Structures are given as structure tokens and as C-alpha cells.
Amino acid sequence: MKNIVILISGRGSNMQALLAAKLEGHIAAVISNKSDAHGLLFAQQHGIATAVVSHTNYPERERFDAALAEVIDSFAPDFVILAGFMRILTPDFVAHYQGRLINIHPSLLPAYTGLHTHARALADGVKIHGCTVHFVTADLDHGPVIIQVAIAVLPDDTEHTLSARILHEEHRIYPQAVRWLCSGQVKLDANGKVISQCHNLPAQALISPALDLP
Ligand code: GAR
């Protein structure tokens, strides 16, 4: 069984979705850079080991990442899953977990990297928005895509309603992506390309607004 370490910075709803999914993998630990991350309590209540590596104790990013990696590696993870872990990671850290470090981001990457993705999508008036699970590279919110969901932006959407619908989709795709990783159906090759044995292609295009009926 694969060993999984999850990193969070706050609420931890994606972590909860991963725990609820009863993956064919062992969630060895949940680690946060913030001692008051709500998700830590949830993990503890579910018998999962937790740890805090506070970035405030490490003025230099490299030192923080080294300390974080030491704690992560003490759990011997096959995969390190970023679930709302809001830190920019150094190239050394990312290289150390090459092919084993996964992130979820609330946009259809490569669009809307960074923060406030839903507000920016609404401000731009896009008709389709979504979320992405990807392998992490040294570029913030970039990297080979494992799975994406696209949803329609509704005319009366607010940042709140849009983010709620996207979060619902995040909770569906993240467990799926981790399942594929644990079973070996998805992996990263030496050239940084995703090798996938998942060939269930969606039947329909998403057109938003929908076409007029004939
Ligand atoms: C999620 O929407 C996740 O996609 C996002 O933070 C939120 C964490 O929520 N991550 C990023 O923006 C990474 N760049 P959660 O703590 O409830 O899972």
C-alpha cells in the first residue's frame, strides 16, 4: 500500500475528501505550515498523525523547505499531496519529490495561476471555469495535468457561488487522481510528461451558454 502525506494550510476540505474516499493508500500524516489550520483537528480526530512546521520559524524559504522535507520524509511517503498548501516551494524541494508531488488548483490551468482565481475569472467574464490536479513543478501552479473539470460560469455567479461549485468538483477529482497514482495508472515519465492509462473520455463538449435548440 502506498504511503501518502498531505500538506494543508487551512480549512482542509480537500484533505477531508481524500480521507472520506477510503483510498487504496495509507494516509501517513497531515502536515501544516500553520498551527491553527482547521484541517489539523479533523485529521487528529480521525486518528491521523499530524505535524506543524511553521514557516514563521524560518526566515529563509530554503531552510523552511528543508525542515518541511525532513518531517515529510520521516513518514516515508510515496506521494506528497498539496491540499490548499499555500506556500511557494523552492526548486530543490520540488526536485526532491519529482513525480511524487501533486497539487490541486482552483482554475483551468494554465489560466489563473496564483490567488483569487474565481474573482479574476468573473472579472474577465469567462463562460467556463474549473479546477486542475497536476504534478508540481518549480513554477507556481504549473505542471503536467492529471485531471481537470470544466463548469459553466452562471450569469448571476458571485465569487462565493462559483468557488462553492468548483470546490465540489475539487472534492470529486482529487480522490480520483490520487487513486490513479496509487494504482500506477498515472505517472510522470522522465521527460516530465504524464503517462496515463485512463482512457474514459467524456462524451460531450461543454458549451456555455448552451446552443439554441433547433
Ligand atoms: C482549494 O480551493 C484549493 O484548490 C486551493 O486552496 C483551496 C484549499 O481549500 N489551492 C490553491 O489555490 C493552490 N494554489 P481546502 O483547504 O478546503 O482544501
What residue ranges in 89-213 does DSSP mark as E strands?
101-105, 128-135, 145-152, 186-188, 194-196
To test the pocket of ligand 1, the residue of 82, 86, 117 to mutate (highest count of ligand atoms within 8 Å of its CB) is 86
pLDDT at 54 over 90: yes
Q: What is the dihedral of CA 123, 125, 126, 129, to 10 degrees?
A: 50
Select the CATH number that applies to the domain covering 3-196 from these four: 3.30.930.10, 3.40.50.170, 3.50.50.60, 3.30.565.10.
Answer: 3.40.50.170
The model's confidence at residue 198, banded by pLDDT at 50, 70 and 90, is confident
How would DSSP label each residue in 26-92?
EEEEEEES-TT-HHHHHHHHTT-EEEE--GGG-SSHHHHHHHHHHHHHTT--SEEEESS---PPPHH
- pLDDT at position 200 is 87
pLDDT at 199 over 90: no
Instruction: Note the pLDDT tens digit of each residue in 35-52.
Output: 999 999 999 999 999 999
The Cα 214–Cα 200 span in angstroms is 29
To test the pocket of ligand 1, the residue of 11, 31, 81, 105 to mutate (highest count of ligand atoms within 8 Å of its CB) is 105
CA–centroid distance, 10 to ligand 1, in Å, is 9
For the CA of 170, the closest atom of ligand 1 is: 4
Domain ranges of the chain: 3-196
Q: Which three cell numbers stand for residue 172?
A: 470529486
Q: What is the DSSP letter of 124?
A: H
More confident residue, 202 or 85: 85
pLDDT at 178 over 90: yes
